[in-house]
Structure 1
Amino acid sequence: MSSADDQDDLKPSFTQGYKPSAAKSAEEYAKLDAEDESLARWKASLGITSGATSRDTSGPKVTVLTLELNSPTLPHGKKPIINYQSLRSSSVTIKEGVEFNVRITFKVNHSIISGVRYIQVVKRAGLKVEKMEQMLGSYGPHPNGDPYIKDFDPEESPMGMIARSGTYNVKSRVVDDDGEVYADWEWCFRLAKEW
C-alpha cells in the first residue's frame, strides 16, 4: 500500500455540509460576549481571559503525553503505557478476549483548539484491520497547566490462535477540524494469552 493510501486512512471524517468556523485567538474569544457574566466565568475556567495573548505561543499547540490501555483484567500495578515520544522501539502486549479501553493524556499549551480527534489505523500483514476515530473535543489551555485526560469507548480484543499470530502495526494521529496535525506516530502490539 502506498504512502498516499496511508495518509488517506488517517484523514478525519467530516459531516457533509459542516464547515469549521475561522480560527480565533484566545484574545478574540475573550472579547466575544464580554458583557455576559456567566459566559465570562466559563471562558475564564478554560484559561480564556483578556490577558491571554501574554502567553508564550512558541512551540506546539498540543502535546500528547501518553496513550495507555486500561482494563479491569490487568494485573495489579501493570498499566501498558504507549509513550508517544519513544514509540518506534516499543511493543505492547494485549490479552486476547478482554475488554479494554484506550486513554489519552494531552496538554493544550496555548491557543484554542477545536474539533480535535484521535485517529488510529490498525494493520496486520499490510492489510487494514480496523480504523478508530474518537472525538476529543475543543479545549483551551488549563489555567494551571494541567493535562486533559480522555477515555475512549471500551472495545474487546480479538481471540484465537490466528489473532495471536503476528504483530499488529498501528498508526495514530491527533488532528483538528482545520486539518492541523498535532501528533503523528506509529506503534505495534501483539495479542497473547496473558498480559
Structure 2
Amino acid sequence: MEGGGQRVEAGSSSAPATLADPESGHDLGEETKLEDNDNADDELEGDEDEEAGADGFVPSPLIPLKDQLEKDKEDESLRRWKEKLLGCVDGDLYGQIEPEVTFHSIRVISEGCADVVTSLPIADNQSHVLFTLKEGSKYRLKLTFTVKHNIVSGLTYSNIVWKRGLKVDQTKGMLGTFAPQRDAYEHLLEEETTPSGVLARGIYSAKLKFEDDDKRCYLELDYSFEIKKR
C-alpha cells in the first residue's frame, strides 16, 4: 500500500525546517512528533495483544512431568493425587518435555453396517476411500491414540468435507486433556448424519486435523468416503 507521507529531498546539509500554522502559531512539527509517539504507543500495545493472542490468553510454559511430580512431594496427599491423575510413573514416558500424541486407528461406527477400522497412518499404496455410508444414516468416528512424555492440554479436532472442490461441511470439537500412559485412549467423536438425495450421493474428500491449545498439530489426515443410496 502506498504511503501518504511527505517526500524529503536528499542531499541537503541544513536541518529540516519546522512548519507552523500561520493562524495559531503552533509548531506543526511538535504536533507531528506527539502524534508519532501516540501511534508508536498504539503499535506497541497492538504487538503486545498479538503476542498474548486474540483472546489475551498466553499458554503457560511446559514443565517436565518429573518436575511436576517432584514439586510438593513432601505433601503425601498431594503426591497421591498427582499419581492418581497422571498414572504410574514410568521413566521412558517422561523423558522429554514436549507431549507426544500418536494416533493408531480410526473406526467408523454406523447403524446397520459393520464397523470399518483403518490403521494410521494410511499407507501410500492404500486407498484413501476409507469407508462407505448410506444416505441419511447416523455414524460416529472412534479414535485410538496414545500420549507420551507430558500432559497434552486441550486436544481439539476439526473436520472439513468437500465434494467436487466445494466445501460442504466443517465441524470442530474438543477431545480434552490427557495424561501420558502406556494404555491407549479411545474417544468417540460427535454423532453425525449423512445427507440424503440424489445430489448427496458420491465420493467426498475430507481433512481431519488434531491440535492442542498451544497449536501443536499431531495429525492431519486426508481421506475420502462415499455415500450410496439407502
Q: TM-score range by the shorter chain?
A: 0.7 to 0.9
Q: Corresponding residue for 1:162? A: 199
Highest CA radius of gyration, 1 or 2?
Answer: 2
Q: Corresponding residue for 2:4? A: none
Gaps of 5+ in 2: 1-52
Paired residues for 1:143-182 under 5 Å: 145-164=182-201, 166-182=202-218
CA displacement 1:122-179 (0-9 Å, x = unmatched): 111111111111211111111xx11011112212111111100x32111111111111
Deviation at 1:43, TM superposition (A): 2.3
CA displacement 1:90-116 (0-9 Å, x = unmatched): 311012111211111100022221111
Task: Using structure 2 for the length normalisation, give the TM-score.
Answer: 0.66
Letter of the structure 1 residue corresponding to residue 190 of structure 2: D
Deviation at 1:35, TM superposition (A): 4.7
Please tell me whether residue 47 in structure 1 is matched to residue 83 in structure 2.
Answer: no
Greater displacement, 16-25 / 103-112: 16-25
Q: Corresponding residue for 1:106? A: 145
- Mapped to 2, the partners of 1:152 and 1:162 lie a distance apart of 26
CA displacement 1:54-93 (0-9 Å, x = unmatched): 745499711101121212x234xx2122332116623110
Task: Using structure 1 for the length normalisation, give the TM-score.
Answer: 0.76
Q: Corresponding residue for 1:74? A: 112
- For the aligned residue pairs, the C-alpha RMSD in angstroms reads 2.7
Q: Corresponding residue for 1:183? A: 219
Letter of the structure 1 residue corresponding to residue 87 of structure 2: G
1:26–1:52 Cα contact (<8 Å) kept: no
Mark the CA change 1:15 to 1:115 in structure 2 (over 3 Å): closer, same or farther: farther
Residue 162 of structure 2, aligned match among 98, 115, 123: 123
Corresponding residue pairs, total:
174
Gaps of 5+ in 1: 1-13
Aligned residues with identical type, % of pairs: 32
